[in-house]
């Protein structure tokens, strides 16, 4: 039971987001000069605190970021300032540690980023006031129930396998992708079907050399899986005299790896250069403020035309500049189109902007071949090497990274109409991720080398189906009304997101059953996430806002958009949580008389 002299706080999930919440909490407690004994109970599935599973420090170095060094910073320079004795950004930390890949535009191994995050956590712990006690629980949280003024958190200890319970006054949930992943009993997962690839050394170990493997997905996780089965097994990539990568086998990799996905398309790679300084002209904050007054918004009729114009403007700004011309913005879009028409009359060989060619160049082709995709990947590599300042194509696809934070304001809390919300979740979210948040160029060069070596095969990239063979635990991959191949292993390399209706995770199912959360519904569309207010507090089954509980990061996906794992600013519910938790401690200690914690009913 919880005693009256100690305020107990729970942080469930302690990757980067959990650490960010902890750092803000300590800063606010210090500013408020809280002397009351405060316990912070940290619950995490593994011992990789602050780094979490994504940036765990024991993963191989060939698993690298898709986020350049310059963009990584665990700290926020705002009051109350952190108690840490130092607050180095990632590049400063790399330089101090003597890393050779400390350049701003380099892509570091994810394990190195994990070490940085772990060090940042230690910097906060070293300055912790004596009245703040941190207690770590390594294990899986399965349930939480309210008992009087406390919340009983049930977890299974990872080492002993025993269940224990901790009573907390206040809870922050930062459970990452586990929020949406149904945890199946190990006994029902076949060694021939791998549902989750991390940690790769462990999860992909059943795959035998010279076997046939199918990988569902062609995003960042799929690339990790492909590299783990090749480079991770002793093979090497070596540059020839022309700088082109050549794959040298270790004889321990699969005989063939088949990728398949809905579009069959790879992600657009990036070269690490900073985002261009071209400003948005159509999808501006002023336009958004006007649109917000007229929600819900239809994506296709209202927002997509603005996005297409931004892509168009970025494309031609670079193309004009490459030819010594200036592309002028005009409120009348036809004036800009006339500029383009005159330009193409003077430069008929120049590429022409085409939305469909950019977002889905093989839309009308039912089946893709390895040859076609090899050529396309080669094109993407060449464009990425040019960068946003020289490649009209790269300038266009990079535009979404600028639009995304503004779009989030319109998307969040049911800002889109139900039909648009569903279409964005199921189609456009993946499309824009593929265009704008792709891997480093060197990883796509490895993918091309594997294709040329015959290891990676795109024969089933698009329009493929998988059926299990009950006699031998194998599977058959087949193109609709076309060729088929029996494969030995099926690997799911897609990352779970909120899916329409229902929570897939045991903890969230129990939170719902206990009435602590309810599903968010947007006029008939249920994206599969919980309902929260604009501070991250959940709405209970009977419609009451619970100020004692806050959700932050991936668990809010579907009601917010694109919760960047490392961002300190995107959908920042941690700061408000830290502030309100501090106020709750002061209130319980009798130091505030006017603090209003009245619960709202929705």
Identify which has the larger pLDDT, 35 or 180.
35
Indicate the SS3 state at residue 340. Answer: helix
The tokens describing 340, both together, are 């383009």
pLDDT at 406: 94
pLDDT at 500: 66
Indicate the SS3 state at residue 292. Answer: helix
Extended beta strands in 421-492, E state: 456-457, 464-469, 474-479, 484-487, 489-492
Q: What is the mean pLDDT of residues 10-16?
A: 98
Q: Residue 137 is inside which H or E element, if any? A: strand 132-147
Assess contact for 116 and 481: CB atoms under 8 A.
Answer: no
Question: In this structure, what are the phi and psi dihedrals at residue 568, rounded to the nearest 5 degrees?
Answer: -90, -10
Could you give all domains of the chain from N- to C-terminal order, each with its CATH number? 6-181+498-588 (3.50.50.60), 191-267+440-492 (3.50.50.60), 285-363+387-436 (no CATH)
pLDDT at 189: 47
pLDDT at 590 over 80: no
Q: What is the mean pLDDT of residues 529-547?
A: 97
pLDDT digits over 517-536, tens only? 999 999 999 999 999 999 99
Please, which pLDDT band fits residue 149 given cuts at 50, 70 and 90? confident
pLDDT at 537: 98
Angstrom distances, CA of residue 212 to CA of 220, 259, 444, 485: 21, 11, 22, 9
Question: In this structure, what are the phi and psi dihedrals at residue 133, rounded to the nearest 5 degrees?
Answer: -110, 130
Distance CA 84, CA 75 (A): 10
Q: What is the mean pLDDT of residues 294-298?
A: 91
pLDDT at 190: 65
pLDDT at 4: 65
Please, which pLDDT band fits residue 373 given cuts at 50, 70 and 90? very high
Please, which pLDDT band fits residue 278 given cuts at 50, 70 and 90? confident
Please, which pLDDT band fits residue 589 given cuts at 50, 70 and 90? confident
pLDDT digits over 102-118, tens only? 899 999 999 999 999 99
Of 271, 343, 492, 313, residue with least CA distance to 403: 313
What are 312-316's contacts with CB under 8 Å, separation 24+? Answer: 312/336, 312/353, 312/396, 313/278, 313/281, 313/282, 314/276, 314/278, 314/392, 314/395, 314/396, 314/398, 314/399, 315/353, 315/392, 315/393, 315/395, 315/396, 316/340, 316/343, 316/353, 316/392
Distance CA 418, CA 425 (A): 11
Assess contact for 18 and 159: CB atoms under 8 A.
Answer: no
- 393-407, 464-478, 580-594: least confidently modelled range: 580-594
Angstrom distances, CA of residue 564 to CA of 67, 174, 176, 253, 425: 11, 13, 11, 33, 16
pLDDT at 472: 87
pLDDT digits over 122-141, tens only? 999 999 999 999 999 999 99
Give the rounded distance of the alpha carbon of 384 from its chain centre: 21
**DSSP-assigned beta bridge partners for residue 20:** none
pLDDT at 591: 59
Q: Average per-residue pLDDT in the chain?
A: 92
- 161-170, 467-476, 567-576: least confidently modelled range: 467-476
Distance CA 347, CA 239 (A): 36
pLDDT digits over 425-441, tens only? 999 999 999 999 999 99
């Amino acid at each position: 039971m919880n005693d009256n002299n100690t305020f107990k706080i729970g942080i469930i999930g302690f990757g980067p987001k959990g650490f960010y919440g902890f750092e803000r909490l300590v800063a606010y407690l210090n500013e408020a000069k809280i002397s009351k004994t405060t316990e912070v109970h940290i619950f995490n599935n593994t011992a990789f605190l602050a780094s979490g599973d994504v940036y765990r420090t024991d993963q191989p170095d060939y698993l690298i970021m898709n986020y350049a060094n310059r963009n990584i910073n665990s700290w926020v320079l705002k009051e109350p300032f952190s108690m840490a004795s130092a607050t180095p950004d990632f590049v400063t930390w790399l330089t101090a540690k003597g890393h050779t890949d400390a350049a701003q535009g380099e892509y570091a191994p994810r394990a190195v980023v994990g070490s940085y995050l772990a060090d940042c956590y230690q910097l906060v712990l070293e300055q912790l006031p004596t009245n703040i006690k941190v207690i770590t629980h390594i294990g899986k949280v399965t349930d939480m129930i309210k008992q009087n003024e406390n919340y009983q958190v049930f977890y299974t200890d990872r080492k002993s396998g025993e269940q224990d319970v901790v009573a907390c006054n206040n809870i922050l949930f930062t459970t990452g992708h586990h929020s949406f992943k149904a945890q199946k009993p190990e006994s029902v997962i076949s060694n021939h079907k791998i549902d989750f690839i991390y940690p790769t050394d462990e999860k992909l170990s059943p795959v035998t050399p010279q076997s046939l493997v199918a990988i569902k997905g062609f995003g960042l996780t799929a690339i990790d899986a492909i590299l783990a089965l090749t480079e991770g097994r002793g093979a090497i990539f070596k540059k020839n005299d022309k700088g082109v990568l050549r794959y040298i086998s270790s004889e321990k990799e699969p005989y063939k790896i088949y990728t398949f996905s809905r579009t069959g398309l790879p992600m657009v790679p990036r070269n690490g250069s900073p985002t261009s300084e071209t400003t948005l002209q159509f999808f501006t904050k002023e336009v958004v403020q006007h649109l917000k007054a007229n929600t819900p918004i239809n994506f296709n009729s209202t927002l997509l035309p603005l996005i297409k114009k931004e892509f168009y403007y970025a494309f031609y700004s670079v193309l004009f500049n490459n030819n010594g011309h200036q592309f002028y913005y005009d409120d009348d879009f036809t004036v800009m189109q006339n500029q383009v028409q005159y330009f193409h009359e003077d430069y008929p060989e120049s590429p022409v902007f085409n939305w469909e060619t950019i977002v889905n160049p093989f839309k009308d082709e039912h089946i893709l071949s390895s040859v076609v995709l090899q050529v396309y990947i080669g094109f993407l590599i060449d464009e990425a090497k040019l960068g946003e300042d020289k490649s009209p194509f790269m300038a266009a696809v990079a535009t979404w990274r600028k639009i995304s934070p503004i779009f989030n304001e319109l998307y969040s809390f049911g800002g889109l109409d139900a039909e648009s919300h569903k279409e964005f979740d199921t189609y456009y979210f993946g499309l824009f991720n593929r265009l704008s948040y792709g891997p480093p160029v060197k990883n796509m060069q490895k993918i091309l080398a594997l294709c040329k070596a015959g290891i990676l095969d795109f024969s089933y990239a698009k329009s493929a189906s998988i059926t299990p063979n009950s006699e031998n635990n194998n599977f058959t991959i087949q193109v609709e009304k076309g060729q088929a191949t029996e494969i030995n292993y099926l690997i799911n390399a897609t990352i779970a997101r909120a899916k329409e209706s229902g929570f897939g995770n045991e903890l969230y199912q129990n939170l719902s059953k206990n009435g602590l959360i309810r599903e968010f519904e947007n006029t008939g569309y249920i994206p599969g996430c919980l309902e929260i207010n604009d501070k991250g507090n959940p709405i209970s089954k009977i419609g009451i806002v619970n100020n004692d509980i806050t959700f932050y990061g991936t668990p809010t996906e579907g009601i917010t958009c694109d919760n960047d794992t490392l961002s300190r600013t995107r959908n920042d519910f941690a700061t408000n949580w830290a502030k309100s938790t501090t106020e709750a401690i002061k209130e319980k200690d009798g130091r505030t008389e006017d603090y209003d914690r009245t619960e709202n009913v929705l």
